[in-house]
Structure 1
Amino acid sequence: MRRVRTVLGDILPEELGVTAAHEHLYCDQRLCSEPDFPRKVEKMVLLDTDLIVQEAGYFHEAGGRAIVEVTVHGWGRDVKVLSEISRRTGLHVVATSGFYVEDCLPAFVRDSSVEALAAFLVSEVMVGADGSPSRAGLLKAAVSRARIEGAEERCTRAVARAHLQTGAAITTHTSASSRFQIDGGNAGTMFLDLFEAEGVDLGRVIIGHCDENADLRQLANLMDRGAYVQFDVIGKEHWLLDTTRADLIAGLLDRGYGHRLLLSTDRTRISELRISGGKGYDHVLRKFVPLLKDRGVDDAALELLLVTNPATIFSMPFPIQEETHHE
């Protein structure tokens, strides 16, 4: 029987509801080693639990029921805090195990083998993370260059092998600064090639940040190989206008790719929250869904994007504990 693994325990896929597929609720980029990080650029820091409860509450008020939190060990993830946010907001929260870009890798990665790294990830999914019984329900791989190499390659292979042992889906990150140097605008093809070589079912892989530098042909190619394509920086219009994103999604729906699409906003900074005049976690539901409706996207298609697809990809296809909560 399939289950979605949340920080408060395992739930049935149909319990997940309207889902933001790629968000941050608690993170601290200052833990990363980035000597050349521009001083004037606001780092990705969210540490005020009361504020996040308020901001995530707006998402709940707009109809949201679940948030997939993609911060990993190495830059501030704390599943105990995520559990508190889940309890206080009434939202299901899925935590993530895996590795972010090289500058944010934990120190132990440097001297660890792929097998040891995979064992660490399996433990976070099957036993508990951050010294807590709360477990991760998703795996993450990341790249910061125009190719997958070095420590990032070892981490990506470890994610693939942990997936094979746990059944948890894989989500991916590609740094925007290198994305424009890659044919098709996205490192998704490289990820799929590596995962395929490791024996991963590509239907269990999400290619993230596809709406920063979108190439419609490449998006179709990724989905033709079975992967999910994620429009997860909706509202960040310095990359792409939301109207253009809506046009692309409507076009992909018309071409029959709706079953491979996910939506989110990737909130990472105080300036992106409503308290600071930002668009907040509820932007997709309040502002972007109306854009899709203006383009003829009907309720059935919206249900697919926001409910059915997340329930499918984030559920784990193997028997796990019958008890759904560990509180």
Structure 2
Amino acid sequence: MTGELKVRTVLGDIDPAELGVTDSHDHLFFASKLLPGQELDDPIAAAHALLEFKVRGGAALVQWTPYGLTRRTRELAWMSEEIGVHVVAATGLHRVEHYAPVILGRVVDGLVKEFVADLTEGTQPADLPDEPRTGPRAGLVKVAGAFHTIDSHARLTMTAAAVAHQETGAPIAVHLELGTAGLETVELLCGKLEVPPEKVILGHLNRNPDPQLQRQLAETGVFLGFDGPSRANHATDWRLFDGLEALVEAGHGGQLLLGGDTTTAAARDQPGASFLLTTLAPRLARQLGGDVVTAMLVANPARAFATSWR
């Protein structure tokens, strides 16, 4: 791939060096039938969260909410402009369990057209209930694996994501269910579907704190996302530090990304996106060194989310 590298934000393409301190995986808006009563769908609350993140030193936030789950791209653009924080939006599809039947039943060619249109024109399918047909362009494709496997839905969406990457250059971000099926995901995306590893970001590695697996994944060249702490997965929080330290010592510090992954209203302020900067980063800096943590928050996301757009 040749050409000038850019990060595609909801306000347009920027130089990767402009991204700054980045929350590499979070949600300002997210609503799923799996989380009734916990919807993130209040623009004012989202704006307050983004402003607090900025006050704490944040400069960019990557929202991994794919279409059909209330990603609110127009509101993302408004908040980005008013608050002064870069925001990257996602296209793609989450796990099958998150959706009503109207969203499902698509085939690869149809998904590719939808993903590419979203990435290049800011349009999405007419049968989606969560937002208008047009809006800001997405800057990545979000897909998801199943628990310990790649099910038929995941294979469908990952195949479409790979083709969309070939047509546009877009990075691919993958939700690993409870941190599992990482090797299977890399084998499919980077092996069979020939997506360059540096264009793949695996999320939720902290939810499956298996050091051998994390090392194997790092050796493939993909980016590794450690996002949380999560109220749903707090039992693994204390293992995050040793896991990151082991990967840094093994020479993989340049592949590590940090995120907050706020997916429920209850977690918006407890701990919320700002926890990444107020608590997690300082603790990591004391253990790993400030330069290493700065790379996870600045240099690594600048490479992970940048591409030569086509």
Q: Taking structure 1 as the reference length, what is the TM-score of the superposition?
A: 0.86
SS in 2 for 1:200: coil
Partners in 1 of 2:152 and 2:118 — Cα distance? Answer: 23
Question: Which residue of the partner structure matches residue 75 of structure 2?
Answer: 81
Question: Which residue of the partner structure matches residue 279 of structure 1?
Answer: 271
1:13 CA drift (Å): 0.3
Task: Confirm or deny that 1:150 pairs with 2:148.
Answer: no
Verify the 8 A CA contact 2:254 2:295 in the aligned structure 1: yes
Task: Confirm or deny that 1:51 pairs with 2:53.
Answer: no
1:150 CA drift (Å): 2.0
Verify the 8 A CA contact 1:22 1:265 in the aligned structure 2: yes
Partners in 2 of 1:144 and 1:291 — Cα distance? Answer: 32
More off after superposition, 62-71 vs 21-30: 21-30
1:113 CA drift (Å): 2.1
Please give the residue correspondences for 1:104-253 in structure 2 after superposition, counting only pairs within 5 Å.
104-105=98-99, 107=101, 110-129=104-123, 130-176=132-178, 186-195=180-189, 196-234=191-229, 236=231, 238-253=233-248
SS in 2 for 1:307: helix
SS in 1 for 2:45: helix
Partners in 2 of 1:25 and 1:88 — Cα distance? Answer: 15
Task: Confirm or deny that 1:303 pairs with 2:281.
Answer: no
Partners in 1 of 2:301 and 2:26 — Cα distance? Answer: 13
Verify the 8 A CA contact 2:115 2:164 in the aligned structure 1: yes
1:116 CA drift (Å): 1.6
Map Cα deviations across residues 3-53 of structure 1 (whole Å, 9 max, x no partner).
1100011111000000001101112113xxxxxx5xxx7654111111111
Question: Which residue of the partner structure matches residue 6 of structure 1?
Answer: 9
Counterpart amino acid of 2:7? Answer: V
1:120 CA drift (Å): 0.8
The equivalent position to 1:288 in structure 2, one of 266, 280, 283, is 280
More off after superposition, 57-66 vs 128-137: 128-137
SS in 2 for 1:211: helix
Counterpart amino acid of 1:83? Answer: A
Map Cα deviations across residues 136-159 of structure 1 (whole Å, 9 max, x no partner).
001111123432122332111101
Verify the 8 A CA contact 1:213 1:239 in the aligned structure 2: no
1:202 CA drift (Å): 1.4
Question: Which residue of the partner structure matches residue 56 of structure 2?
Answer: 62
Counterpart amino acid of 2:53? Answer: F
Counterpart amino acid of 2:61? Answer: I
1:241 CA drift (Å): 4.8
Verify the 8 A CA contact 2:209 2:236 in the aligned structure 1: no
State percent identity of aligned pairs: 30
Question: Which residue of the partner structure matches residue 317 of structure 1?
Answer: 308
The equivalent position to 2:25 in structure 1, one of 9, 15, 22, is 22
Map Cα deviations across residues 80-105 of structure 1 (whole Å, 9 max, x no partner).
11112212321100000111010234
Verify the 8 A CA contact 2:173 2:201 in the aligned structure 1: yes
SS in 2 for 1:289: helix
1:215 CA drift (Å): 0.7
Q: Taking structure 2 as the reference length, what is the TM-score of the superposition?
A: 0.90
Partners in 2 of 1:48 and 1:133 — Cα distance? Answer: 18
Verify the 8 A CA contact 1:94 1:137 in the aligned structure 2: yes
Counterpart amino acid of 2:276? Answer: V
1:220 CA drift (Å): 1.0
Partners in 2 of 1:155 and 1:237 — Cα distance? Answer: 25
Partners in 2 of 1:230 and 1:74 — Cα distance? Answer: 23
SS in 2 for 1:223: helix
Please list every run of at least 4 consecutive aligned residues from structure 1 whose deviation after the TM superposition is greater than 6 angstroms.
Answer: none
SS in 2 for 1:159: helix
SS in 2 for 1:266: coil
Partners in 1 of 2:243 and 2:86 — Cα distance? Answer: 29
Query: How many residues end up aligned between the 2 structures?
Result: 298
